[in-house]
Amino acid sequence: MRKGLLALHRAGELSFYGDLLGLSDPQAFAAYLAPLRTIDWVVYAKPPFGGPEAVLAYLSRYTHRVAISNSRLVSANADTVALRWKDYRVKNGDRRCVMRLSTSESIRRFLIHVLPDRFHRIRHYGLLASSTRKANTAKARN
């Protein structure tokens, strides 16, 4: 990762703004990354708690919908946006909550879900299509 960042910096592919503007200098950028050389990086990934079915169910919720539907918006003004969300960590009782975000933060979170040009949102076909989801999931497990 560090080598890749250095290569991108040399190619002029990285942009720095605000407090990080000084990292545009190659020596400053190299000095900034230098402490990362001494870290013994270990990637730890454990199996999901709910198994593959839970992972597929989670991902399918996000591939077939818009990021935030209008029905979830509670209020919006120049300073804040309030929206409903469901807390799946709550086992009993009411899971519905209201989140209040600054307007700029809500726009930032929404734009994370905007697809780049030439990409299309998945609708009713593919691996997770509802009519073949169980069969495809079984094939993927095998």
The C-alpha atoms of residue 84 and residue 101 are separated, in whole angstroms, by 11
Question: How many helical (H) and strand (E) elements, i.e. helices and strands, does the chain have?
Answer: 5, 3
Residue-level pLDDT at 102? 94
pLDDT given at position 60:
67
- Picking from 23, 56, 64, 21, the residue whose alpha carbon sits closest to that of residue 139 is 56
Q: In the prediction, which pLDDT does 65 show?
A: 63
Residues of the chain with pLDDT under 70: 59-67, 120-129
Q: What is the pLDDT of residues 38-70, one digit of tens each?
A: 888 787 777 777 877 877 777 666 655 666 778
